[in-house]
Amino acid sequence: MPEMPEVETVRRGLMNIAAGRKIQGIDVYYGKTIENDIEKFRQALIGQTIERIDRRGKYLLFRFTNNLTMVSHLRMEGSYYRQLNDGPIDKHTHVVFHFTDGTELCYRDTRKFGRMRLVKTGEEMQVGGLKTMGPEPTTKDFKVDYFKRILKKSRSKIKPFLLNQDHVAGLGNIYCDEVLWQSRINPEQPANTLTDEQIQILHDNIIKEIAKATKYKGTTVHTFMNAFGEAGAFQNQLEVYGRGGEKCERCGHKLVKIKVAQRGTTFCPRCQAWAGDQK
Ligand SMILES: [Zn+2]
């Protein structure tokens, strides 16, 4: 599943291949991708120009000239690619935006979970998870006092706590495992038992990790590519994710893979020991 650094990489690619383009026609091959009435969706966008693409958490926000915003969530496998108008498409391409410059933007999604919804600009924050989404993991938006306050209120294990986008936006399974390892925090430690020192370290690692992963254009796992012919390179930087059974880079102990809140979780039982886990 694309995480925030991957979605930010997609956004930057879309700025190159879609921003400034005017829509001439739209073909929809799998209706459920569009949450609006399809005919209204087409009529609202034909003749409009994509001004820019913004992002909030893992949501892409296409800004159109007529004060409309298309909210696009890639979910598991969604991706965008560009080709010349009327180029060949396969059965996994569900929506095609034809531009007046002779190119087209195609949306491809093997799992078909991705969704697009057109709303008035300004109303996008009412869509899906955007309404309750926590701050972006940046120095500017994500404050340690806020983090401390919400952690102290929760008895949830820290891993699912971090996966919850209402707490902080953009952390998925991969980066959760990485920041917890970096911070030497056990994924099952309850949120409200973290010390102030642990909170500060975790907070700083979250900001650093997401920035670094974005710089490397994200992580390429399974079939996810950023759709512009480039694969992210961050998988080479991962210390724990996908490395269960291998040795911990820090202490040499064997990394262990367990399930925490139904999610595969890899950690080092030595570096990430927690007093409370000796049940
Ligand atoms: Zn270790």
Task: Give the distance (Å) from ligand 1 centre to CA of residue 243.
Answer: 12
Note the pLDDT tens digit of each residue in 85-130.
888 999 999 999 999 999 999 999 999 999 999 999 999 999 988 9
Note the pLDDT tens digit of each residue in 192-215.
999 999 999 999 999 999 998 888
Mean pLDDT value across residues 46-53: 98
Structure-token pair, residue 71: 């909210």
Task: Give the distance (Å) from ligand 1 centre to CA of residue 101.
Answer: 54
Structure-token pair, residue 238: 């991962």
Query: Which one, of 216, 173, 206, lies nearest residue 76 by Cα?
Result: 173
Structure-token pair, residue 199: 């909170």
pLDDT at 277: 55
Among 39-43, 111-115, 182-186, 275-279, the range scoring the smallest mean pLDDT is: 275-279
Asked if 144 and 202 count as a contact pair (C-beta separation under 8 A), the reply is no
Q: Can you list the domains of the chain with their CATH numbers?
A: 4-130 (3.20.190.10), 144-277 (1.10.8.50)
Task: Give the distance (Å) from ligand 1 centre to CA of residue 220.
Answer: 24
Task: Give the distance (Å) from ligand 1 centre to CA of residue 264.
Answer: 18
Task: Give the distance (Å) from ligand 1 centre to CA of residue 254.
Answer: 8
Calpha distance 181→241 (Å, rounded):
10
- Known binder of ligand: residue 92? yes
At CA 272, angle to CA 199 and CA 141, rounded to 5?
25
- Known binder of ligand: residue 111? yes
Asked if 263 and 173 count as a contact pair (C-beta separation under 8 A), the reply is yes
Note the pLDDT tens digit of each residue in 67-82.
999 999 998 889 999 9
Mean pLDDT value across residues 8-34: 95
Question: What percent of the chain lies above the pLDDT cut of 90?
Answer: 77
Reported as type and span, the H/E element at residue 106 is strand 103-108
Among 138-142, 159-163, 170-174, the range scoring the smallest mean pLDDT is: 170-174
Calpha distance 222→115 (Å, rounded):
20
Task: Give the distance (Å) from ligand 1 centre to CA of residue 162.
Answer: 21
Structure-token pair, residue 175: 């980066």
Task: Give the distance (Å) from ligand 1 centre to CA of residue 239.
Answer: 10
Q: What does pLDDT average to over the chain?
A: 91
pLDDT-based confidence at residue 271 (cuts at 50, 70, 90): very high
Calpha distance 10→125 (Å, rounded):
20
Q: If you search the block for the tokens 């005017």, which residue do you land on?
A: 22
- Cα–Cα distances (Å) from 109 to 33, 74, 92, 129, 155, in that order, read 9, 8, 6, 20, 37
pLDDT at 202: 98
- 160 CB neighbour count, 10 Å cutoff: 19
Instruction: Show which residues are catalytic.
Output: 2-3, 58, 263
Calpha distance 272→247 (Å, rounded):
14
Phi/psi of residue 60, each to 5°?
Answer: -95, 140
Note the pLDDT tens digit of each residue in 143-164.
999 999 999 999 999 999 999 9
pLDDT at 16: 92
Asked if 108 and 75 count as a contact pair (C-beta separation under 8 A), the reply is no
- The terminus-to-terminus CA distance of the chain in angstroms comes to 33
